[in-house]
């Protein structure tokens, strides 16, 4: 049975002022025991998708099921199966880590005694034993994320939803969390996580769906996605705009990125001399050229037309559509 089966779901927010199609058409399947990554930029619709799958938002159109249970009609049953750590961590700052775990255990129905046992297990699991009796207010960002992860595990869910679990963490803390998530996967938990980091999707996720502007634009393992580009990526850089424009006409099927042109071909390295000859032959000056195996970043560029990395500078959806 599939852990998660999403078929053409859609979410439209209607308010007096406007209508927002936050999720336009999202489909994917997650197998049991895998880490599935939803990769996309800000505003792509990742959180909205997670909220729908975790029964916190209604689904405007389409179907979703978790372990074969329909999300829209059987939300109580779904909640038993899933653990959820949302993007805006709902953590009570005035309580201690231990109190939060204990309260959450009790709410899930554990007896007082069992709750104490489970609290200690989980504090240990997420490495918060030492900080257990401090108020959460004093926790660092990484500790809060780990606490959040721990809280979503109280009832030993089979399926875990993590919305941007590592956003805002330093590389070290991020790695700690990755290891924890992998350990969970290895113990049989299915994990669906969202991220805006290519590296995270690449390292952590067994399979990835790239989501942009409410649509899934590519799906597969990291290797499949890279292979889908077909071959290697040759990058030509130019010092002048004229050279770049001329080169664009000479080489077909290039993708421009600032002062660079990219070309995806089989067996790239061996074809560089030929291309260079074509270009210099027509008086185009190339400042640098390189051939690389495609990265997820290249895949992202290929399927969306822009880059994810350095997303602060990346265009807003409006600017994008003007291109």
Partner 1 sequence: MQSNRSFIVQLQILTKRMVFRVIRRPLAELPNLIISAFFLFVYDGALGGVFGGAASGTPFDFAKGNFVNFILPVSIVSASLSGAASGIYLVEDIESGVFKRYQSMPISRWAIILAPMNVGAFRVLVQSSLILGIGKFIGADPAVGNIGFLIVLSLAFIWGMGFAGYSVAAGVKSGSSQGAQAATFLFFPAIFLAPTFVPREALKGWLETAAAYNPTTYVIESMRSVMVDGWELDVLFRGYLSAGIFAAITLTFAVISARKATEKA
Ligand X SMILES: Nc1ncnc2c1ncn2[C@@H]1O[C@H](COP(=O)(O)OP(=O)(O)OP(=O)(O)O)[C@@H](O)[C@H]1O
The region of 89-97, 167-175, 230-238, 260-268 touching partner 1 under the rule CB under 8 A is: 89-97
**Which tokens is 97 given?**
């880590």
Q: Which is nearer to partner 1, 55 or 222 (CB)?
A: 55
With CB under 5 to 8 Å by kind, the binding choice for 109 among Mg ion, ligand X, partner 1, none is: partner 1
Name residues contacting partner 1, limited to 12-41 (CB under 8 A): 13
Q: Helix or strand or coil: residue 173?
A: helix
Beta bridge partners of 39: 195, 210
Q: Which class for 41: exposed (0-12), middle (13-18), buried (19 or more C-beta within 10 A)?
A: buried
Name residues contacting partner 1, limited to 105-164 (CB under 8 A): 106-111, 114, 118, 135, 151, 155
**Which tokens is 44 given?**
């792509």
User: What is the DSSP code string of 61-127?
Assistant: EEEEEETTEETTT-HHHHHHHEEEE-SS----TTSBHHHHHHHHHHHTT--HHHHHHHHHHHHHHTT
Q: Catalogue the long-range contacts made by 219-228 (C-beta closer than 8 Å, 24 or more residues apart).
A: 219/28, 222/296, 225/296, 225/299, 226/293, 226/294, 226/295, 226/296, 226/298, 226/299, 228/299
Give the one residue of 27, 29, 32, 103 binding partner 1; rule: CB under 8 A: 103
What is the distance, to the nearest Å, from the Cα of residue 95 to the centroid of all Cα atoms in its chain? 30
Give the one residue of 8, 12, 42, 73 binding ligand X; rule: CB under 6 A: 42
With CB under 5 to 8 Å by kind, the binding choice for 89 among ligand X, partner 1, Mg ion, none is: partner 1
The region of 94-102, 222-230, 293-301, 309-317 touching partner 1 under the rule CB under 8 A is: 94-102
**Gyration radius (Cα) of the chain, Å:** 23
Residue 235, interface with ligand X (CB under 6 A)? Answer: no
Residue 63, interface with partner 1 (CB under 8 A)? Answer: no
Residue 47: CB minimum distance to Mg ion, A: 3
Q: Helix or strand or coil: residue 34?
A: coil
The region of 88-96, 182-190, 195-203, 233-241 touching partner 1 under the rule CB under 8 A is: 88-96
**Which tokens is 146 given?**
């780990």
> Could you tell me how many residues of this chain bind partner 1 (CB under 8 A)?
34
The HSE-up count of residue 68 (CA atoms within 13 Å, CB side) is 1
Residue 264, interface with ligand X (CB under 6 A)? Answer: no
Identify the CA nearest to 275 among candidates 251, 245, 307. Answer: 251
Residue 316, interface with ligand X (CB under 6 A)? Answer: no
Residue 178, interface with partner 1 (CB under 8 A)? Answer: no
Residue 47, interface with partner 1 (CB under 8 A)? Answer: no
Give contact residues for partner 1 (rule: CB under 8 A).
Answer: 13, 54-58, 76, 79-80, 82, 84, 86, 88-95, 99, 103-104, 106-111, 114, 118, 135, 151, 155
Give contact residues for Mg ion (rule: CB under 5 A).
Answer: 46-47, 87
Give contact residues for ligand X (rule: CB under 6 A).
Answer: 13, 20, 22, 40, 42-48, 87, 196
């Amino acid at each position: 049975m599939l852990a998660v089966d999403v078929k053409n779901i859609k979410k439209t927010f209607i308010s007096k002022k406007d209508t927002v199609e936050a999720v336009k058409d999202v489909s994917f399947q997650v197998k049991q025991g895998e880490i599935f990554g939803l990769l996309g930029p800000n505003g792509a619709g990742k959180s909205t998708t997670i909220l729908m799958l975790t029964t916190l938002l209604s689904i405007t159109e389409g179907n979703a099921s978790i372990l074969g249970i329909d999300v829209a009609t059987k939300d109580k049953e779904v909640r038993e199966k899933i653990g959820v750590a949302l993007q805006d961590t709902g953590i009570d700052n005035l309580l201690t880590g231990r109190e939060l775990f204990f309260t959450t255990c009790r709410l899930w129905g554990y007896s007082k005694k069992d709750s104490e046992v489970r609290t200690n297990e989980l504090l240990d699991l997420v490495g918060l034993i030492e900080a257990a009796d401090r108020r959460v207010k004093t926790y660092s960002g990484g500790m809060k994320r780990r606490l959040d992860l721990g809280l979503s595990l109280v009832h030993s869910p089979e399926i875990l939803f993590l919305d941007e679990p590592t956003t805002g963490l330093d590389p070290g803390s991020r790695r700690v969390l990755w290891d924890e998530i992998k350990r969970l996967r290895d113990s049989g938990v299915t994990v669906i996580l969202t991220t805006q980091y290519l590296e995270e999707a690449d390292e952590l996720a067994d399979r990835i769906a790239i989501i942009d502007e409410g649509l899934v634009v590519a799906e597969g393992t990291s290797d499949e996605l890279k292979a889908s580009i077909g071959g290697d990526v040759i990058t030509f850089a130019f010092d002048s705009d004229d050279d770049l424009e001329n080169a664009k006409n000479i080489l077909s099927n290039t993708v421009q990125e600032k002062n660079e042109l990219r070309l995806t071909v089989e067996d790239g390295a061996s074809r560089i001399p030929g291309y260079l000859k074509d270009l210099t032959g027509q008086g185009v000056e190339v400042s640098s050229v390189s051939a690389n195996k495609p990265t997820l970043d290249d895949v992202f560029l290929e399927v969306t037309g822009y880059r994810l990395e350095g997303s602060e500078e990346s265009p807003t959806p409006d600017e994008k559509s003007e291109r």
